[in-house]
Amino acid sequence: MLTGVDLVAEQLRVAAGERLSFTQEQVTLTGAAIECRINAEDPAAGFRPTPGTLAVFNPPGGPGVRVDSGFAQGDRVPPDYDSLIAKLVVWAPTRAQAIARADRALAEFEVEGPGVATTIPLLRELLALPEFAKATHTTRFVEEYLSR
């Protein structure tokens, strides 16, 4: 999202014995990107998995928004595997705009099903925190926030 480089295409190119299509000097970073992992988990219950059937699965879209998922409406989130439903990745020219875009996309992301809770509400709370906006958080950010 920051470089405009399709890394998967480049990996396939290299695996086929070809060279990368660019040099390191040609790679430039532009803007800000944020990834949100949408899990079928209940953060209030220690991130306990919440498997179930997705009665509603309606991911957001629009410019600067990408959703990677293997699920669709009617699919079942199984109890046997990772509870990841989707990865939401947003890009914008600035960090503040990326945060706003991520929050909008999360607000539009509809995931519903009997017994299925998601990390979406927690992610929206975290995006609203000043330390996240200022990028002063650490790898213990979520743990520290939940212990407040």
Count of CB atoms situated within 10 Å of the CB of 137 = 16
Q: Model's pTM, two decimal places?
A: 0.91
Q: Give tens-digit pLDDT for 60-108.
A: 999 999 999 999 999 999 999 899 999 999 999 999 999 999 999 999 9
DSSP lists the bridge partners of residue 20 as none
Give Cβ neighbours of residue 24 (< 8 Å, ≥ 6 apart).
Answer: none
Return the structure tokens found at 130: 């000043």
